[in-house]
Amino acid sequence: MNSKKLFWELTLKLETFTHTVPVPFAVYYAIITQKMETEKWMIFVALCLFFATGIGILGTFWRYFMIRRLFRKIEKIKVPDDSSNIQYTFQDQDYAKKVKLYIFKYPLIEAGFIVFRWFAGVIPIVTLYTYLVEYTPSVVRSGIFTIAMIPPISFVTYYFITENSLRPLFDLPQIRNIEIKPNEIPKFDYFKRIVLAFFSLAALPVSVLSYLLYSIVKGETMVEEPLIPIVIVSCIFIVPLIVCSYIVAMTVKQGISETSKSLAELAKGNFSVVVTPTSGDDFGQQAFYLNNIIQKLKGMYEEIKILNEGLEEKVTARTEELNSTLQEVRKLKYQQDGDYFLTYLLLNPLTIKEIKSDLIHVDFLLKQKKNFEFKEKEYEIGGDLNVSHSIYLQNKKYLLFVNADAMGKSMQGAGGALVFGAVFQSIVQRTKNNSSFQTISPDLWIRNSFQEMHRIFEAFDGTMLISLVMGLIEEETGLLYFINAEHPWPVLYRDGKASFIKSEVSYQKLGTLGAETFSQVKTFQLLNGDVVIAGSDGKDDILTAGGPDGKDWEVNLDEDFILRIIEEGKADLNQMIEIILSKGEIIDDLSLIRIGYSHEAQKKNPISSEAKLGFKKAKKLYSKGNFSESIEVLLGLIESEPNANERLQKDLSKLYYQIGNFKKAMEHMEIYLISHPEDDDFLYFASKLFKKTNQLPRAIELAEKIRIRSPKKTNYLVHLFHLYLKTGERSQALEILKNLELLQYPKEDLTILAGYLK
């Protein structure tokens, strides 16, 4: 197709339609609806014929130049040649793409220009007639009615005719292979097309008949019998109806035909077919989708074809490859299980229970999450660890226990537990074998051990963290000393009820970079028949059934869950694990330590009424300042009331302190502290007593002990400050001063204390 052929085809179709239907139609009804003199009538007819001819010539010449310009653009596009090595630049491709999109837009340009032509013809006719002759309302109305009825049908007809005539251009070699995207072409779907076509067809007769009836009523029509124009309107209307319906139907038929043709080729297995979009309607959009489908089917077909060629050989080769991979995986699995077994052999001896006691009974339960098989035997490894020992500190026997949980699963957790177990065992053996480490108090032993282990794990830069509960139980008194490092709180089972033993401070895991400095050891007095259970978070990490139908699984978030388990199982580890398993699935390592304390000697007989009266008498004497007489009463009670001995020793020590008999005060103080080492207030008193007798090392030892237990009590810290100041340890005194400042100690008092350092 060339430019001349396209020009004559479009001109013949478009101008024939315009000058066969709309132009005569408009001129005829403009004339018969005017009642005017012959001279004026001839001027009006002349204007109509002149401008009708003018807009026809204008449209023809305009179309000629537009089509000629379009083909010049097409000729500038390079024609692809597979035999040459021509490389198209980005500018070439962009230019060709713009030309193709212009072809899509050209029908809208042609349709818009015919509307402009009608306005350019009607408006000058009405204007010139008014200027040359006179203002005539019927002439103005005829112009308005013409604009209302003719441009819509002309727009629709021009758009569809032009679109159908331009379709062959998309098959030109310069245009066919230019890629465009669906969102780049102007969209004019069939919903809009059909609505616009019906509107334009309806606007023509409605406007004409309305205009005719209005002219008849106004007496402006030049016909005696209105039936004649009505019949003429009906006959002429058939032409645009047939033309518009025909071109709409042909557009739909052509779109369906192109799609069906492509599908037929595709059904034959021809995956090289390319569907070219030639319009902005629904079929043009479908062309893009069909091309995508064809490309995907073509790729799948080629892939299946390649796979089917030598399929048997490929299957055999693939099977051999899989068998080889499987053998390699088995070797790696065996090596991995060997590594697991070696870790198990190293870790297993670190779960130690070296207890020799008639008063304290210890049981372990350890269930690691990671199970493996090695040499037809099953083993398990994980990050949990239980350890217990009997050690001596200050000539007193203690139970040492640790329940620890290393961060990570399987090998990572086991590696952390292995390092922790080795470090902790070395500390324990050093304490057992070196008497110098047995001279410190249990508070200091726990603090020093924790700090030492923390420094070791800090060297791993936060990659190996350990949570734990570590404690000491004095065998004779049942006094429990413990710390918690981001671990579940130990539980006390007493008289059938379970409750947490909590501390004001829970430290971060061992090895946590920038962790808070160790400062407090919690104490708790156990009674005869008490049971303490310490365990890792595996006892709480249970996957339980939830939801209305019991099919929604969720992780237990109830902190008191373990308390109910302990009460239901009566603190028996075997029963507890059965109950836990009946509640849900354990999803983490699980370790438990059960410590039972029984000391019949702790059972005290009630104090007699005579002793109570003696206490009241001594208190009354004390309040009056008769300290010596009060002492005599208490000494008499010691001999007659052995059940009140502990309390009497405490009161006697304080009374002797009041009268200045520090030697006697210390004798009774030592007796009382043997059975009540947890009494922080009395430890404070004992430290002041040692200070009075100038036994400063002993005074500092007790003051540090209560500092570890109660690091936030400022009166204890001030006392320790003066002790360090008196011994000349200024750096330690300065540290105490900084602690008081952090605790918001009154500034005036801080200033006074700071003055002692100058």
Q: What is the pLDDT of residues 471-503, one digit of tens each?
A: 999 998 889 999 998 899 999 999 999 999 987
Residue at which a domain ends, from 601, 628, 646: 601
Q: How far apart are CA 552 and CA 719, in angstroms?
A: 59
Domain holding 644: CATH number? 1.25.40.10
How many C-beta atoms lie closer than 10 Å to residue 720's C-beta? 24
Identify the three-state secondary structure at position 358. coil
Q: 233 Cβ partners below 8 Å, 6+ apart?
A: 205, 208, 209, 212
CA-CA-CA-CA dihedral for 336, 339, 341, 346, to nearest 10? -160
Phi, then psi, of 494 in degrees rounded to 5: -135, 125
- The answer to whether the CB of 411 falls within 8 A of the CB of 420 is no
Take residue 296 and report the two structure tokens written for it.
């995907």
Q: Are residues 188 and 234 in the same domain?
A: yes
| pLDDT tens string 402-456 | 999 988 776 778 888 889 988 999 999 999 988 888 988 898 899 889 988 998 9
Q: Looking at residue 592, what is its pLDDT?
A: 93
Average pLDDT over residues 35-45: 78
Q: Are residues 245 and 114 in the same domain?
A: yes
Q: Are residues 151 and 213 in the same domain?
A: yes
Alpha helices in 348-500 (DSSP H): 410-433, 442-458
Q: Looking at residue 404, what is its pLDDT?
A: 92
Domain coverage including residue 70 = 3-79+87-259
Q: Looking at residue 268, what is its pLDDT?
A: 72
**Helices H / strands E in the chain, number of each:** 23, 16
How many residues in total does the chain contain?
Answer: 758
Average pLDDT over residues 105-119: 88
Distances (CA, A) of 340 to 162, 379, 411, 591: 81, 9, 7, 19
Q: How far apart are CA 124 and CA 120, in angstroms?
A: 7
Quote the pTM value: 0.52
What are the DSSP E strand ranges found in 17-92? Answer: none
Q: Are residues 623 and 575 in the same domain?
A: no
Of 116-125, 220-229, 697-706, the range with the lowest mean pLDDT is 220-229
- The answer to whether the CB of 743 falls within 8 A of the CB of 714 is yes
Q: Are residues 632 and 662 in the same domain?
A: yes
Q: Are residues 348 and 226 in the same domain?
A: no
Q: What is the percent of the chain where pLDDT is above 90?
A: 11
How many C-beta atoms lie closer than 10 Å to residue 484's C-beta? 21
Average pLDDT over residues 35-43: 77
Q: Is residue 253 part of a domain?
A: yes
Q: Is residue 247 part of a domain?
A: yes
Q: Look up residue 20 and give its amino acid.
A: T
Q: Is residue 328 part of a domain?
A: no
- The answer to whether the CB of 355 falls within 8 A of the CB of 388 is yes
Q: Is residue 563 part of a domain?
A: yes
Q: How far apart are CA 722 and CA 696, in angstroms?
A: 11
Q: Are residues 106 and 243 in the same domain?
A: yes
Q: How far apart are CA 359 and CA 339, in angstroms?
A: 41
- The answer to whether the CB of 133 falls within 8 A of the CB of 28 is no
Residue at which a domain ends, from 546, 571, 601: 601
Phi, then psi, of 582 in degrees rounded to 5: -75, -20
Average pLDDT over residues 377-402: 89
**What are the beta bridge partners of residue 399?**
390, 473
Q: How many domains does the chain have?
A: 3
Burial class of 427 by CB neighbour count within 10 A (0 to 12, 13 to 18, 19+): middle
Q: Looking at residue 139, what is its pLDDT?
A: 79
Residue 747, phi-psi category: left (phi > 0), alpha (psi -120 to 50), beta (remainder): alpha
Q: What is the percent of the chain where pLDDT is above 70?
A: 85
Domain holding 410: CATH number? 3.60.40.10
Q: Is residue 290 part of a domain?
A: no
Banded model confidence at residue 548, pLDDT cuts 50, 70, 90: low
Q: Are residues 580 and 709 in the same domain?
A: no
Q: How far apart are CA 521 and CA 393, in angstroms?
A: 16
Q: Are residues 351 and 500 in the same domain?
A: yes
Residue at which a domain ends, from 601, 623, 644: 601
Q: How far apart are CA 288 and CA 34, in angstroms?
A: 55
| pLDDT tens string 336-349 | 777 777 777 787 88
Q: Are residues 586 and 656 in the same domain?
A: no
Q: How far apart are CA 391 and CA 533, in angstroms?
A: 20
Q: Is residue 267 part of a domain?
A: no
Q: Are residues 581 and 626 in the same domain?
A: no
Pairwise pLDDT comparison (735 vs 344), residue with the higher score? 735
Q: Looking at residue 353, what is its pLDDT?
A: 86
- The answer to whether the CB of 461 falls within 8 A of the CB of 346 is no
Mean pLDDT of the chain: 80
Q: How far apart are CA 421 and CA 382, in angstroms?
A: 13
Opening angle at CA 549, ends 548 and 554, nearest 5: 75
> Minimal CA–CA distance to 719: which of 668, 755, 683, 672?
683
Q: Is residue 312 part of a domain?
A: no
Q: Are residues 639 and 750 in the same domain?
A: yes
- The answer to whether the CB of 29 falls within 8 A of the CB of 212 is yes
Q: Is residue 407 part of a domain?
A: yes
Q: Look up residue 541 and give its amino acid.
A: D
Q: Is the pLDDT of residue 10 over 80?
A: yes
Q: Is the pLDDT of residue 547 over 60?
A: no
| pLDDT tens string 246-275 | 777 777 777 777 777 777 777 776 766 666
Most confident of 174-178, 643-647, 715-719: 715-719
Q: 98 Cβ partners below 8 Å, 6+ apart?
A: none
Q: How far apart are CA 250 and CA 247, in angstroms?
A: 5
**What are the beta bridge partners of residue 467?**
405
